[in-house]
Structure formats: C-alpha cells, structure tokens
Chain A
Amino acid sequence: MPGAPSSLVQATAVLEAAEEGHSLWKDAWYRLRKNRLAVAGGIVVLILSVLCFIGPFFLRYSYEDQNLSLRQTPPGLQHWLGTDKLGRDQLSRILYGGRVSLMVGLCATAVSLTIGVLYGAIAGFVGGKLDGVMMRVVDILYSLPFTIFVILLMVFFGRNIILLFVAIGAVEWLTMARIVRGQVSSLRKQEFIEAAIALGLRRRRIILRHMIPNVLGPVVVYTTLTIPAVMLLEAFLSFLGLGVQPPMSSWGLLLKEGAEMMEEAPWLLIYPGLLFSLTLFSLNFLGDGLRDALDPRASKD
C-alpha cells in the first residue's frame, strides 16, 4: 500500500494548513505578495519616503542655500539635478519638498480616513434620525467653497503647515464619510449580519469582524485616490500662496516654479514632475493591489 502513507501525510498537511493564517490580514498579505505590480508600487513608495526623510542629511547643500553665481545651472557633477533661478540645489529642494508633500498626503489622508470612516460607519449603522442629521451636516460642509474655507482658517489661525493638514483633511473626509455610510447602511440589511446577530454576537464584534472587512475594499481604493488628490490640493494652495511658503519647498511649489521656466530650464520641471508621477502611479498600483487582496472573491486561485 504505497498510497496510504502519502495520503496520511497529505491529510495532516491539510490539517496544519487549516490552522494557520486565518486572519483576513494574513490572507490579504499573502495575496498581495503575489501581485508584482502592487509590490513594486509599495517598494517604490517606501524608497521614495526613505529618500525624502533621510536623504537630506547626506546632502552638501541645504534647500535654502542660495548661490547667485550658479543660477539655473543644468544638472552636472556639482549639482546633480541642477539649480533653480536663485541658485538653490534642485536635488535637496526636491527631497525636502517630498517630505512636505508626502507628509501632507499621508497625514491629511489619515485624518480624513479616520474621521470619514468613523462618522460614516456610525451614521450608517445607527441609521434613522441620527443618520439624517449627520448626513445633512456633511451636505452643508460639502457646499462650502473650499478656498474660502481655507482662507478663513488662515486668517484666523495664521499660516502654518499643521493647519494645512487640518484644512485638507477637514474637506477630504466628507466623501469618505458618504462612501462608508452608504456601504454600511446597505450591509446592515444583509442577511449575514442578521445571521451574526442571531448567533449572539455582540455589536462591537459584528462591526469589527463582519462589517469593516466588507467596507475595506472601497475605502482602500478611495484612500489611494485621496493621497494624490491631497498632494495636488497642497500644490494648488501653495500656488495661491496659502500653503507652503518659500524658501520651504514642496513638490507642488517646485512644479509651479518649473512650469514657469519650462523653456529656459526644463530640468526644474522634469525631475519633480517625474518623482511626483512616479509616486502617484505607485500609490495607485498599491491601492489596486490592496483592493484585490482584501477581496477574497477577486483572487485568481
């Protein structure tokens, strides 16, 4: 009987496999690892972040050191990515700017994610009158013109970068809240939630174990869309003079300056633009991969 021992081995192997990796996150991580594009995206974002946060310590030039005799030098040995119209080193400006942009992107998104998901989930789960009131508040905030809102904030509290996070986060969570609220309120009527209640599960466990995983897909996708949107918003605010102030730099600011001098000094536009696009692409691939990884039905195997 050569078949018997091997089938026994197989059976125990199956049993062992059945006992490990039972959390959604482990499964998702396993599926994500198989998605090359998403992994590449994640690695690129990671490398860029590390470069931006640690890189400036190893540079010869600060982002604000001006050298008027070396204005608009093309990329070369001394200044790897050239200099801008005031002779400031473009490489260190890009890395410093990356700090601000990534920080704005991540912090403001985190703020909007937290507020939006909580707010939306509560409104959707509780329903009824509370839901009505909460969503009308969102509608009212939605109808406020964003620029005026930010200008008001700046007038009252002065310009600083934290306020920038707050302002952007305060606007971006609205859409997130709407998405989550819609998802949750449709989930609440699903039979498997009723089944979970009938099984005697507590409300907290139902929300955490049964609801949140079902909402994650759209939330992750929207988050990855929010990060670039937030970075562009920062660029827009900086352009209006409400965001990051020179000599501090950010990618939005660099792009704007680069665009002004596109013909004389194209490197001022090309390099920040390249990095900006690379980041956005990577984030999108990562988000797409995450969405698929979090949805067991989308897995190919």
Chain B
Amino acid sequence: MALLEARNVRTSFHTRNGVVRAVNDVSFTIDKGETLGIVGESGSGKSVLCYSMLGLVPQPPGRIEGGQALFDGTDLLSCPQMQLNRIRGKRIAMIFQDPMTSLNPYMRIQDQLIEPLLIHDKLDHHVAVETGIQALKDVGIQDAASRIRAYPHEFSGGMRQRVMIAMALITKPDLLIADEPTTALDVTVQAQILELIRQRQQELGTAVILISHDLGVVAGFCDRVLVMYAGRIAESATTGDLFRDPRHPYTRALQRSIPALQPRGSELFTIPGMPPDLSKPIGGCAFAPRCGHAIDSCREMETQLKMIETRHASSCLRAQKEGLKP
C-alpha cells in the first residue's frame, strides 16, 4: 500500500484579481522509502501541493477546494487539527527553502531541535538533548555537544540547512518533504546537502518528496519524477524513463533548456512565451500556446493525465493518442 496517496487535490487562492487555481486536480502516490521528485517552474504549484497536504496554506486567501491526501489511512486535508498536529513533525517532516529564515533567531539550536521530541515523543529533557547532539553529529556538524548551545546566527547557511535536516529527521519520520532544500545554497554545499539527505534517507528508510526546479538535481536523486505545469501534472515517470523517453513536450523542452546537455557554442533553447495566468480559465492544454506540437484539439480539449506505459503517464493528448515522442 502506498505511504501517501493524493487524490484530485485542488487548492486555489482567492485574490482581488480572481481565483488562482494553484493546484488543479493533482493525484500521485509515494511508497515507503521511495524518492519522488516534483519539478516545475516557479508558480507551477509544486510547493502549494505539499503545503496543502501539511495544512500550511494560509486560509484565507488560500482554500483547499477538494481532494484527499491519504497518509496511512488518514486524510490530511480533512482531518481535525489535533490529528494533523500528531502527524506533522512526527511522521511527516518538512525542510524549507531558505535556511536563513527557517530557524527562530531567538531560540538556541538545542531548543528548536529537540522540540519535536518533547512534544511528540514526550521524551525527558536530558534524553532529548542527548538525542539532539547525536542528530547533529549525524548530519556532520563538528563539535555538536557545544554547537547545540549556539544560536542560529552563529551558523552558516549550509550548517543551518544541516540543522533543519537534523530537526526534520529527529523523530524518524516516514516521509520527508524537502521544498527546494538547496536553492538558497551555493553549488558545492548543494551537493553536500543532497548527499546528506540521501544518506540519512537510506539509514532511516524515509520516503522523500524533493521539490525542485532543477532537473539535474532531480535526475541524480529521485526514483520517480512528477513534472508539474500550471497547477497540473504534465508527466509522471521513473527518472530513467523521463530522461530517456520524455512523453510530454514540456518535459522535452525543459531538458533542451539545460545548458550542460547542449553542444558547445550552439544557442541555448528556451521555451517561448510565458506560463498561463492561472486566474483565468484555461480551455485545453495549458502548455498548448507554447508548444511546437500543438494541434487544434490541444487548444480545445481538457487534458487528463493518462497512463501511456506502465509507470509512465503523460497529459499530452498527442502522446496519448498518437504515441507522439517529442
């Protein structure tokens, strides 16, 4: 049975300029110990999707319009606050994008780090501190026993992200959601942090959802990838299939825009146009206006994610009907 199964999740934001459908009818599953990547450009709804499942969408203006997110039999989207509080931080943990702002500047690392242990596991304070020191050692912080007494401003960005990882994993959760965990860090540290997440994941058997806009990061890290565009899933496949045999023009276009994969000296491919305005209804495929393969029916028919092969789904009409390989 899947660890987490999201069914038709729909989240929208009610703003002055209309209703923005940030996540529109998204379904996916993740198994125990699996690594799932969610890629997409800014505003494609990948963060909002995960925020919705953890009850982090500010309401108002946000609103969960429908759907279910079954985690071990509990629907995260509709269960009472108390029940959600028992799951998040204990069984589902999250790492945020910017480590500089995701630690409370007024609290020692120690107090923030062991907070989940104190409230979820009801551990004795001394035991919790010991566990905290061990957790810091596990994420590679030198001199953990004294560093645990420091304040966040005494740590560098990479170190803070290590602390965040230690904090997220301290209760040995079943699922870790990492929302662009390396975006705010420089390249050398990025690799270290990803390696650390992978290593801890293997030790603890945690499932990981990695949100990223960097295809390279996802390629090296995940078992399976969801490509999101305009609040919907464009394509879902194992990492190997996705890169070898993309079945959605958007995925293909993204790959062609990676500089490292282009021949030297050739002009870099860019996707023409802009992502659609999500506050306006989109008839047909959201990517059609920017798509080189679009035909008339693409602009008229609602798209749906459909299985093309086993474990490979695409929302492209032409891929579904004609077996288009962009």
B56 near A197: Cβ-Cβ < 8 Å: yes
A18 near B107: Cβ-Cβ < 8 Å: no
Interface residues of B in 56-107 (CB under 8 A from A): 56, 60, 84-90, 93-94, 96-98, 101-107
B119 near A200: Cβ-Cβ < 8 Å: yes
What is the predominant secondary structure among interface residues of chain A facing chain B?
Answer: helix
How many angstroms between the C-alpha atoms of A201 and B105 in the bound complex? 17
Cβ of B86 to closest chain A Cβ, rounded Å: 7
- Chain B residues with CB under 8 A of A196: 104, 115
How many angstroms between the C-alpha atoms of A210 and B101 in the bound complex? 13
- Chain A residues with CB under 8 A of B111: 22
- Chain A residues with CB under 8 A of B60: 128
Given A191-B96, A195-B96, A201-B85, A213 contacting B110 (CB threshold 8 A): no
How many angstroms between the C-alpha atoms of A190 and B58 in the bound complex? 12
Q: Which of B55, B86, B107, B110 has the most A CB atoms < 10 Å from its CB?
A: B107
Query: Is B252's beta carbon under 8 Å from chain A?
Result: no
Nearest residue (CB) in B for A215 is B106
Q: Which of A9-17, A73-81, A172-180 contacts B (4 or more CB under 8 A)?
A: A9-17
Query: Is B133's beta carbon under 8 Å from chain A?
Result: yes
Query: Is B9's beta carbon under 8 Å from chain A?
Result: no
Q: Which of B35-43, B143-151, B253-261 contacts A (4 or more CB under 8 A)?
A: B143-151
A214 near B89: Cβ-Cβ < 8 Å: no
B56 near A194: Cβ-Cβ < 8 Å: yes
B88 near A200: Cβ-Cβ < 8 Å: yes
How many angstroms between the C-alpha atoms of A15 and B146 in the bound complex? 7
Query: Is B126's beta carbon under 8 Å from chain A?
Result: yes
Query: Is A198's beta carbon under 8 Å from chain B?
Result: yes
B107 near A17: Cβ-Cβ < 8 Å: no
Query: Is B210's beta carbon under 8 Å from chain A?
Result: no
A14 near B145: Cβ-Cβ < 8 Å: yes
A200 near B120: Cβ-Cβ < 8 Å: yes
Query: Is A241's beta carbon under 8 Å from chain B?
Result: no
- The count of chain A contact residues (Cβ–Cβ below 8 Å) is 31
B104 near A17: Cβ-Cβ < 8 Å: no
B89 near A18: Cβ-Cβ < 8 Å: no
Partner of B104, one of A14, A27, A210: A210
How many angstroms between the C-alpha atoms of A199 and B173 in the bound complex? 11
- Chain A residues with CB under 8 A of B110: 18, 22
Which range contains the number of B residues in contact with the other chain? 35 or more
Query: Is A205's beta carbon under 8 Å from chain B?
Result: yes
Nearest residue (CB) in B for A216 is B106
Nearest residue (CB) in B for A23 is B111
- Chain B residues with CB under 8 A of A192: 101-105
Query: Is A296's beta carbon under 8 Å from chain B?
Result: yes
Query: Is A60's beta carbon under 8 Å from chain B?
Result: no
Cβ of B177 to closest chain A Cβ, rounded Å: 8
Cβ of A205 to closest chain B Cβ, rounded Å: 7
Partner of B105, one of A19, A27, A198, A297: A297
- Chain B residues with CB under 8 A of A24: 106-107
Cβ of A172 to closest chain B Cβ, rounded Å: 26
A297 near B153: Cβ-Cβ < 8 Å: yes
0/1 interface trace, chain B 100-134, chain A, CB 8 Å (1 if under):
01111111101100011001100001100100010
Could you list which residues of chain B lie within 8 angstroms of chain A, going by C-beta atoms? 54-56, 60, 84-90, 93-94, 96-98, 101-108, 110-111, 115-116, 119-120, 125-126, 129, 133, 145-146, 148-149, 151, 153, 164, 167
Add 11 more A-B contacts to A128-B60, A195-B94 (CB < 8 A): A17-B149, A18-B133, A19-B125, A24-B107, A198-B94, A200-B88, A200-B120, A205-B119, A213-B106, A213-B107, A214-B106
What are 15 A-B pairs with beta-carbon distances under 8 A? A14-B145, A15-B145, A18-B133, A191-B96, A192-B104, A195-B103, A197-B88, A198-B56, A199-B89, A199-B115, A199-B116, A200-B84, A200-B88, A294-B106, A297-B153
